[in-house]
């Protein structure tokens, strides 16, 4: 007998203490997107988490919610604009001050938008590149400077995107930035390896969250969803699962890799 329709959404996996006792710093972690889902998954796996975001009010709300569920001793928050080098340094310094070390840095901050290249302004291009690529570089650099001097190294996970590989109209600035994140990840990984630091990236295809709905037309979302083999978009926690894998010991031999989190077909 055959069935039709999309497969049911899988159940969230049970926690396994994969990050027990480790300190994780996550950018763009306020709200219901990948960063927020990653913060929750890391806490579920036993980590202590410092969350940051450029949106202070939303960050404070998220911090209170996580503290109520996981305890104030395991959660900290600091607003951070990743285009500001001083704020980036302050974020990672706070993690060391509050928790003693940094074991994992998840560089999730990014900025998208839709504009045809012929109509795009320099300001639009520069803003996307500064947040998405330069911001990831600043955070990777800040984390690496701390981790290379620790006795047990650390792990950095960057958030790229499948558009770093695949062409999509109206996304030349975002695609260029995400392709840059992939290249940054590979090169920095070679430099970090002698210090016991691993650097990898995830490349999601379509993970739904409220901000994406605001900046993307429903027509485009429907088109992108139709390309997915499962006939649905990814839940943010499904991407967070892969980030947790890369952050933990099960990926101990992986560095410089970009892992596609996608069911998209050509």
* Catalytic residue IDs: 174
Helix (H, G, I), strand (E, B) or coil at 162: helix
Helix axes 172-192, 135-147, angle to 10 degrees: 10
- DSSP for 51-79 reads EEES-HHHHHHHHHHHHHHH-GGGEEEEE
Instruction: Give phi and psi for 8, each to the nearest 5.
Output: -65, 155
Nearest-angstrom CA–CA distance, 121 and 144: 33
Cα distances from 160 to residues 88, 145, 184, 201, in angstroms, run 19, 22, 10, 6
């Amino acid at each position: 007998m055959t069935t039709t329709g999309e497969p049911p959404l899988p159940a969230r996996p049970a926690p396994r203490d994969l990050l027990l006792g480790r300190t994780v710093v996550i950018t763009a972690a306020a709200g219901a997107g990948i960063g927020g889902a990653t913060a929750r998954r890391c806490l579920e796996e036993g980590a202590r988490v410092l969350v940051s975001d450029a949106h202070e009010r939303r960050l404070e709300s998220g911090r209170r919610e996580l503290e109520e569920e996981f305890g104030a001793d395991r959660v900290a928050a600091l607003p951070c604009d990743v285009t500001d080098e001083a704020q980036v340094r302050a974020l990672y310094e706070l993690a060391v001050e509050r928790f003693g070390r940094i074991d994992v840095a998840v560089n999730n901050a990014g900025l998208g938008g839709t504009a045809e290249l012929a109509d795009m302004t320099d300001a639009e291009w520069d803003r996307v590149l500064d947040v998405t690529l330069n911001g990831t570089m600043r955070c990777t650099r800040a984390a690496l400077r701390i981790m290379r001097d620790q006795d047990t190294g650390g792990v950095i996970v960057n958030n790229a995107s499948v558009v770093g590989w695949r062409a999509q109209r109206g996304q030349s600035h975002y695609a260029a930035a995400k392709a840059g994140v992939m290249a940054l990840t590979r090169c920095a990984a070679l430099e970090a390896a002698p210090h016991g630091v691993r650097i990898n990236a995830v490349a999601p295809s379509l993970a739904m969250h409220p901000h994406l709905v605001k900046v993307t037309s429903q027509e485009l979302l429907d088109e992108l969803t139709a390309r997915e083999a499962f006939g649905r978009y990814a839940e943010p926690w499904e991407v967070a699962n892969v980030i947790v894998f890369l952050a933990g010991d099960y990926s101990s031999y992986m560095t410089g890799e970009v892992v596609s989190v996608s069911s998209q077909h050509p």
